[in-house]
Amino acid sequence: MKIETVLCREGSMDNYAYIIIDEDTGVSAIVDAPEAANIVNRCLELGIKPEYILNTHHHFDHTDANIELKNIFGSKIVGAAYDEHRIPGIDISVRDGDIFKIGSLEAHIIHAEGHTTGHILWYFSKEKALFTGDVLFNLCVGGLFEGTSEQMLNSLKKIKTLPDDVMFYPGHEYTIHAIGFAMRANTGNSVMDEYVKIAQERLDKGLPVSPISLGMEKACNPYLKADSKEDIKNLF
Ligand SMILES: [Zn+2]
């Protein structure tokens, strides 16, 4: 699986869309659709016509370009059954535990409430890639727009059960906002020192901080280290 990161809404929301390509079959898909121009340009450069748009949740900065991309590429829009009523142009709905195929790639659907009630994660277990939308960011998590701290805790527990060598791909570049707090919460943690080094190197080059391994994230993200809903509440 080839994964390309596309920065969208730069400076306002700093969203990431991801282009994924199954190199065996040539079938491709886009994870989230914050804005059309950058995604279309990159698809044209790559010479691909994405068959699917995979939404993590309904928020406009993840679905705004659904219809435009669908009109340009004829892509099918795939989103959570829980959000059928509010994902623009949805063609195919998926639920927790489903497996959705992109060519020969298999995405496991994980329902992860907290940021919104219908949020899903796209997990490619064989390829060790997890698309976390607005649930998990580098060193922080998404705001509780619709869910409770208990729901967020449960969603983070699901992420924590996934293997350490899985790389995760978040919906926004928020590292710079989260790193100061994470450093204070991780004094003496050598993994955090390594994380800061990687993040600074990548940001200095104008690159996304992601992907980071879940092992490293579990060791450093204060929210992933929380054990109770009170811990989560306090962190917010
Ligand atoms: Zn969101």
Residue range 213-232, pLDDT digits in tens: 999 999 999 999 999 888 88
Q: Where are the alpha helices (DSSP H) in 134-189?
A: 149-160, 175-185
Domains of the chain are: 2-235 (3.60.15.10)
Mean pLDDT of 47-60: 98
Q: Could you tell me the distance, in angstroms and rounded to a whole number, from the CA of residue 25 to the centre of ligand 1?
A: 31
CA–centroid distance, 98 to ligand 1, in Å, is 22
Q: How far is the CA of 202 from the centre of ligand 1 (A)?
A: 24
- Integer angstrom CA distances of residue 211 from 5, 25, 73, 214: 10, 24, 27, 9
User: At 30, phi and psi to the nearest 5?
Assistant: -120, 135
* Gap from CA of 191 to ligand 1 centroid (Å): 28
Q: What is the pLDDT of residue 20?
A: 98
